[in-house]
Amino acid sequence: MLDAPPEMVPLDDLGSDDHAAGVLIQRMRRGGRSYEGLQVVVAQVRDGQLSEIWFRPEDQAAFDEFFG
């Protein structure tokens, strides 16, 4: 569980009829530890709504260690 809601700092947004994507900096605190990393979020759009969402951190090992 996080100490507080994560902070998301948007850097760029992209989109088409079928997909939406964002590049952001994600900051989180958990158990006194902190994480900051670049993240890409890609979503599939179906009937005007997000139907699937994928998150890809820049440093998967650091992200995994933060939650481990």
Mean pLDDT throughout 27-46?
96
Main-chain dihedrals φ then ψ at residue 63, nearest 5 degrees = -65, -45
* pLDDT bracket for residue 56 (50, 70, 90): very high
Give dist(CA 67, CA 30) in Å, integer. 8
pLDDT at residue number 42 = 97
> What is the residue type of 1?
M
User: Cα 6 vs. chain centroid, distance in angstroms?
Assistant: 10
Report the predicted TM-score, pTM, of the whole model to 2 decimal places: 0.80
Give dist(CA 23, CA 25) in Å, integer. 7
